[in-house]
Chains A and B, each alone.
Chain A
Amino acid sequence: MSILETSNVGFAYRRGPAVLHDVSFAVTEGRNLAIVGESGAGKTTLLRLLLGLASPTTGDVTFDGTALLRERAYLRSFRRNVQAVFQDPYSSLDPRQTVGRILAEPLRSLKIPGAAGPAIAAALKAVDLPADAVSRYPHEFSGGQRQRIAIARAIIPGPRVLLADEPVSALDVSTRVRIVDLLASLSESITVVLVSHDLGVVAALCQDTVVLERGRVVEAGATESVLRSPASPYTRRLLASVPRLSAPGTEAR
């Protein structure tokens, strides 16, 4: 069953050229999807459309088979189901709010019934943070811990889909592994859509992959087949650049 789907989506920023052309793919429940592509390919833009933060210029984004509406009650239920984690854990948390307030915001704004306290405690537990984090401020946490807070905020409404825009690229390597592990454990119950430049992370986490090149889908399918036998020259180039980055010797410097 596809939860989120784009059909022939095109998008242009105001007074700008089109940055997405004829993009069609589906996010299937239970299968994590990776969106890969060079910088500027339109990945973040695509996620903004999937989140309903902007409307496609052409084509449709559909959630559970119907096109997204602009209506308040609809958006509320949509946002309960589709949540996001951003790239930079330093700018994605309001520095002047306690972690408790940050985590309470979606509960309050999305009018999720039930007491906030236990829900917040459960979310903190799920991301492996101590319960006393609620009364502390974001600047008291490390980058990895902040990203856990951001993930806790995203899972607290109980979403079915989690869109993550390069969630580990701002973190150091060892922290990266732990956040990827966390996302992997969450994806047992939540479908993750992951934007990443790190094909290792993609292979570890995502069953499906979409390759975006200058706003167009150049390749889509099971991650394994995309990575093992890339059909497009662009994907081949992308794959070829990976061993160079992690070649022995570059790390020894």
Chain B
Amino acid sequence: MTAVVALEAITTATRRRRSWTLVVGLVLFGLVLATAIVSLFWLPYDPADTAGSRLEPPSLAHWAGTDRLGRDLATQLMIGARIALAVGIGSVAIGAVIGITLGLVAAFAGRVLDDGVSAFLDILIAFPTLLLAMLIVAAQGASLWSAVLAIGLAMSAIIARLTRILAKRILALDYITASRTSGTGMWGIIWQHLLPNVWPTILVNLALQFGLSVIAEASLSYLGLGAPPPNSSWGRMLKEAEGTVLTAPIGAIAPGIAIVILVLGLNLIADGLRDIGDPLRRVSARAVPAPTTEGPR
């Protein structure tokens, strides 16, 4: 009896802690989102304004100091927020659309096509994002969109493999057979049963991939494959601060912290979604699925 009560207390505590991860994650993400939105309407300085003195430490006039050309770093950080979100949303959109479609095709396909798609995905997953990015940059030139495309394509392979495995598992279940004997066609089965059941897991994964894409873009930018300053990403800011990291560390620390805030926020969101997103894991009697558990209608 006491054991049952204790167990209940533990599960409740776990659930509460989990919902806190979601709240904290959303706050961190919201911070970046708000910054990005504000940057569209207002910036402390013109990003190209080199009027400040060089490598200034943080002050009232320049909250995050200036870079080695005298440009305001706070301004660059705000633009960087916009770019980080654009990269994340862009690559997640590419990764989700291509990945989910390819995964479903593989799951429904006959063995030959399935094997073909699987082999293709394995190659794409083994292919370094960096190499992919270099190929795209070679073809299109270095730009933000080259980086987004490379990251999105690399992500689509991972999402496709996940979707394929999840979908195959669901398709083997009796409620799919029951749906067929109920007269529902293939598209009905995909929309009504398959997507709603694979979506929560994919959503959690997309939140994680969003965070990874921000890091990937930072790495690509650091290697000079991203957009050039002054409209630069946080990764590019790190690169710019490389030579002066000892004399003016704020130039590296500020974008570093910004990346951590966003990626940590997204990871916490993924963690929180994982738990509340699945009605099967919830033991509570009020088991109305959260909106996130519903597939796209």
Chain A residues near B178 (CB-CB < 8 A): 84, 86, 92-93, 150, 153
Q: Determine whether B181 belongs to the interface, using a CB cutoff of 8 Å to chain A.
A: yes
Q: How far is the CA of A237 from the CA of B179 in the complex (A)?
A: 37
When the two chains form their complex, are residues A106 and B182 in contact, meaning their CB atoms are under 8 A apart? Answer: yes
Known: A105-B192, A137-B279, A140-B287. A96 touches B197 (CB 8 A): yes
Please name all residues of chain A whose beta carbon is closer than 8 Å to the beta carbon of B177 when the two chains form the complex.
53, 84, 86, 92
A29 CB–B CB distance under 8 Å: no
Which residues of B are found within 8 Å of A94, using beta-carbon distances?
175, 179, 192-193, 196-197
B5 at the A interface (CB under 8 A): no
Q: Tell me, yes or no, whether B293 is within 8 Å of chain A by CB.
A: yes
Q: Are B183 and A110 in contact (CB under 8 A)?
A: yes
Interface centre among A51, A97, A106, A109 (most CB of B within 10 A): A109
A91 on the B face (CB < 8 A): yes
Interface of B: prevailing SS: helix
In the complex, are the beta carbons of B175 and A75 less than 8 A apart?
no
| Bound-state Cα–Cα, A93 to B177, Å | 10
Flag if A79 contacts B183 (CB, 8 Å): yes
How many Å from the CB of B108 to the closest CB on chain A? 15
Whether A105 and B280, one on each chain, are in contact in the complex, defined by CB atoms closer than 8 angstroms, is no
Chain B contacts of A139 at CB under 8 A?
Answer: 279-280, 287
A88-B174, A93-B175, A96-B196 known; A105-B184 Cβ under 8 A: yes
Q: Are A105 and B197 interface neighbours, CB within 8 A?
A: no
A95 sits at the interface (CB 8 A): yes
Given the complex, which residues of A lie within 8 Å of B173, measured CB to CB? 91-92
A79–B184 CA distance with the chains assembled, in angstroms: 10
Q: What residues of chain B lie closer than 8 Å to A150, measured between beta carbons?
A: 178
**What is the CB-to-nearest-CB distance from B165 to chain A, in angstroms, rounded to a whole number?**
17
Most chain A CB within 10 A, of B180, B181, B279, is at: B181
B193 & A79 in contact (Cβ 8 Å cutoff): no
Kindly identify, within residues 248 to 297 of chain B, every residue whose CB is under 8 Å from any CB belonging to chain A.
279-280, 285, 287, 289, 293-294
Within 8 Å by CB of B174, from A51, A92, A97, lies: A92
- Bound-state CA distance A106–B183 (Å) is 6
B243 within 8 A of A: no
Instruction: Assess whether B183 is in contact with A109, with CB atoms less than 8 Å apart.
Output: yes
- The answer to whether B181 and A53 have CB atoms under 8 Å apart is yes
Contacts A91-B174, A139-B280, A139-B287 hold; do A109 and B184 have CB atoms under 8 A apart? yes
Whole-angstrom distance between the Cβ of A238 and the nearest chain B Cβ: 26
* B131-186 interface with A by 8 A CB criterion: 173-175, 177-185
**B contact residues around A214 at 8 Å (CB):** none
Give the Cβ gap from B200 to chain A, nearest Cβ, in Å: 9
CA distance A91 to B184 in the complex (A): 18
A21 at the B interface (CB under 8 A): no
Chain B interface (Cβ within 8 Å of chain A)?
Answer: 111, 173-175, 177-185, 188, 192-193, 196-197, 279-280, 285, 287, 289, 293-294
In the A-B complex, list the 10 residue pairs whose CB atoms are closest, starting with the nearest: A109-B183, A92-B174, A106-B182, A110-B183, A86-B174, A109-B184, A94-B175, A91-B174, A91-B173, A96-B196
In the complex, given contacts A86-B174, A92-B177, what are 10 additional A-B residue pairs having Cβ atoms less than 8 angstroms apart? A51-B181, A76-B183, A84-B178, A88-B174, A91-B173, A91-B175, A94-B175, A96-B197, A109-B184, A111-B183
